[in-house]
């Protein structure tokens, strides 16, 4: 039995990972985990090799984590989760502050962590990045957004904003995990560019 719903029962949060070289970049991740809790705690993130944010992290060896809360604007998740920093400046209409040359989001965010990369593990499509947390603080005492709550209450609002008008002759498929829409004949070896799910996890939609 391989029931992928199992992974939705684990308690993830939702975060914006930010980095800066020539400009501020960032993307949504649900994969940040505390590994140790010493004076300098260790954290691990899993980030797709093809994300533009990943390239910047590999070059600068540091990143920020903004911990999203339940009052976050779905538009922010759309901006950071469904676009690439290679093409747009995601921070243009966002309330943020640079701390130690790293972008920290100040709206819909409970806390932030600044991290120095310690080790990079190759995990096929992703890198697992182990990092030292060298500065961290609470911004607003609000309930942290869980991945489950995102799936149940916020994802639809984000997807509404992402969907493009239907072209009548073109088939459309939706990723059952993250809601990404693919238009056209779905290739059998296709993988979702947002969450990495295979084509078997896509459903045809009207
Ligand atoms: C709910 C949600 C969760 C996501 N989780 C991850 C993740 O854990 N790791 C990852 O690499 N990308 C994840 N993504 C996808 C990236 O945020 C997305 O591909 C982004 O557009 C990359 O932006 P960039 O090219 O500017 O780095 C997630 C997206 C969404 C909407």
Q: For the segment 102-158, what is each residue's pLDDT rounded down to a tens digit?
A: 999 999 999 999 999 999 999 988 999 999 999 999 999 999 999 999 989 999 888
- Residue 64 belongs to what domain range? 6-147
Q: Is residue 181 within 8 Å of 194, Cβ to Cβ?
A: no
Answer yes or no: is pLDDT of 165 > 60: no
**Among positive and negative, which fits the CA dihedral 98, 42, 31, 123?**
positive
**pLDDT band for position 185 (50/70/90)?**
confident
Give residues (CB < 6 A) around ligand 1: 25, 27-31, 46-48, 51-53, 77, 81-86, 150, 178, 194-195
Identify whether 12 is part of a domain. Answer: yes
Q: Note the pTM of the prediction, 2 decimals.
A: 0.86
Nearest CA to ligand 1 atom 7: 29
Q: How many Å lie between the centroid of ligand 1 and the Cα of residue 39?
A: 29
Helix and strand numbers (H, E) in the chain are 5, 12
The pick from 30, 58, 147, 176 for probing ligand 1's pocket by mutation, whose C-beta has the most ligand atoms within 8 angstroms, reads: 30
- Answer yes or no: do 177 and 129 share one domain: no
In a shared domain, residues 184 and 123:
no
172 near 96, Cβ under 8 Å?
no
Write the CATH number for 194.
Answer: 2.20.28.10
The answer to whether the beta carbons of residues 28 and 16 sit under 8 Å apart is yes
Summarize pLDDT for 43-90 with one digit per residue, the tens: 999 999 999 999 999 999 999 999 999 999 999 999 999 989 999 999
In sequence order, the β-bridge partners of residue 107 are: none
DSSP letter at 152?
A: I
Q: Which helix (H) or strand (E) holds 28?
A: strand 24-29
Count of domains forming the chain: 2
173 shares its domain with 132: no
């Amino acid at each position: 039995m391989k029931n992928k719903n199992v992974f939705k029962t684990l308690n993830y949060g939702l975060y914006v990972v930010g980095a800066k070289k020539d400009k501020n970049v960032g993307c949504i991740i649900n994969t940040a985990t505390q590994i140790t809790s010493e004076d300098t705690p260790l954290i691990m993130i899993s980030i797709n090799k093809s994300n533009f944010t990943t390239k910047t992290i590999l070059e600068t060896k540091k990143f920020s984590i903004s911990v999203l809360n339940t009052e976050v604007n779905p538009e922010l998740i759309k901006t950071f989760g469904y676009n690439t920093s290679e093409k747009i400046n995601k921070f243009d209409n966002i309330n943020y502050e640079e701390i130690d040359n790293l972008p920290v989001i100040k709206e819909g965010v409970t806390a932030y962590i600044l991290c120095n990369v310690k080790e990079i593990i190759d995990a096929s499509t992703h890198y697992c990045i182990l990092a030292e947390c060298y500065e961290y603080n609470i911004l607003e005492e609000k309930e942290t957004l869980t991945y489950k709550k995102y799936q149940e209450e916020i994802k639809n609002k984000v997807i509404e904003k992402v969907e493009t008008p239907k072209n009548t002759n073109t088939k459309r498929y939706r990723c059952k995990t993250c809601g990404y829409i693919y238009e056209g004949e779905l290739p059998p070896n296709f993988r979702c560019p947002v969450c990495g799910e295979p084509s078997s996890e896509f459903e045809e939609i009207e």
